[in-house]
Amino acid sequence: MWLKADRPVLARAAWVGLTCWALLASMAPTAAHAGMPPIQRADKQPAKASSVCPVRAHTTVRQIDLFDGPPADQAYLAPADPDRAPNLYPVREVYQQGRIVTIRCQYADGHVQDMPLVKPVDQCRYREVGRPRTPSLVCR
């Protein structure tokens, strides 16, 4: 690094320069101030698909289970490779064998909703999103 302890003048000048730059950046007008829509950054990812579990008022999803067929059969699905991809559930084979995947959404208020995925999908990905962490499942 070019800043060294034996060059205090250079270090002080760099600190002052960075401070001035930060001050000017904080004072620069934004698109919102100019009445324009916010600028979209090119490095942002496209919007994520929403979770299979529907949003319910005044409660959150607590747990999500995947089943091969109806939940009464208790055929829970598991990730194909728990070590390398512990949150990825390939489900194409279930549909190829003439069955369907059922998602069970369990909410904090005790409500349980079973959702059969009639339209075939290739895989489901489990994630925990937001604060506090809430389970989410996206199937494609």
Q: Which residues pair with 103 in a beta bridge?
A: 66, 115
Q: Which residues pair with 64 in a beta bridge?
A: 105
Q: d(Cα 60, Cα 133) in Å, to the nearest integer? A: 10
In tens, the pLDDT along 106-130 reads 999 999 999 999 999 999 999 998 8
Inside any domain, residue 109: yes
Inside any domain, residue 113: yes
Inside any domain, residue 52: no
Of 8 and 107, the structure prediction assigns the larger pLDDT to 107
Report how many domains make up the chain. Answer: 1
3-state secondary structure of 11: helix
Inside any domain, residue 73: yes
Inside any domain, residue 7: no
In tens, the pLDDT along 60-87 reads 999 999 999 999 999 999 998 999 999 9
Q: d(Cα 118, Cα 126) in Å, to the nearest integer? A: 19
Q: What angle do CA 23, 26, 27 make, to 5 degrees?
A: 90
Whole domain around residue 122: which residue ranges?
61-139
In tens, the pLDDT along 43-53 reads 444 445 578 99
> Torsion angle, CA of 30/32/34/36, rounded to 10 degrees?
120
Confidence at residue 49, expressed as pLDDT on a 0 to 100 scale: 57
